[in-house]
Chains A and B, each alone.
Chain A
Amino acid sequence: MTRRNATGNLDLITMLVLIRLDEEAYGVSISREIKQTIGQEIALGTIYAVLERLEENGLASSALGESTPERGGRAKRYFRITAKGLREINRLRRAFGKLWQGVPEFAGRKA
Chain B
Amino acid sequence: MTHRDPPRAPAWLLDRFVSENQALVGDLLEEYRSGRTGLWYWRQAVIAALRSTFAGIRSHWIPALRALILGWAYLVCYNYCIVQPFRELYGDVVWKLDPYLSIRGLGFSSFLLDFPPHLLVPCLGIATGSWIVALLHRPYQAAFTLMNAAVIFVIGTVQLIVVTVRLFGFIEHHPRAVYGPHYLYVFLYLGFPGLELALGVVSALAGGLWNISVHTADNV
Contact = CB atoms under 8 A, between A and B. Distances in A.
B186 to A, nearest CB: 39
Given A44-B24, A49-B55, A76-B23, A28 B30 contact: yes
Nearest to B51: A45
Which secondary structure characterizes the binding site on chain B? helix
B164 to A, nearest CB: 35
Contact of A70 (B1, B50, B55): B1
A70 to B, nearest CB: 5
B174 interface: no
Nearest to A77: B23
Nearest to B5: A72
A70 B217 CA distance: 12
* Interface size band for B: 20 to 34
A50 B102 CA distance: 63
A107 B31 CA distance: 39
B47 A43 contact: yes
Interface string A72-100: 11111100000000000000000000000
B159 to A, nearest CB: 32
Contacts of A27: 23-24, 26-27
A2 to B, nearest CB: 14
B29 interface: yes
A64 interface: yes
A49 to B, nearest CB: 5
B173 interface: no
A52 interface: yes
A28 B24 CA distance: 9
B33 interface: yes
A74 B21 CA distance: 10
B220 interface: yes
Contacts of B25: 72, 74
A45 B217 contact: no
A73 B30 CA distance: 10
Contacts of A46: 47, 51
Interface of B: 1, 3, 18, 21-31, 33-34, 43-44, 47-52, 55, 216-218, 220
Given A27-B23, A75-B26, 4 more contacts: A44-B24, A72-B218, A73-B217, A74-B29
Interface of A: 26-28, 31, 43-46, 48-49, 52, 64, 67-77
30 contacts: A26-B23, A26-B27, A27-B26, A27-B27, A28-B30, A31-B27, A43-B43, A44-B28, A44-B31, A44-B44, A44-B47, A44-B48, A45-B24, A45-B48, A45-B49, A45-B52, A46-B47, A46-B51, A67-B217, A68-B30, A69-B3, A72-B26, A72-B216, A72-B217, A72-B218, A74-B22, A74-B29, A74-B217, A76-B23, A77-B23
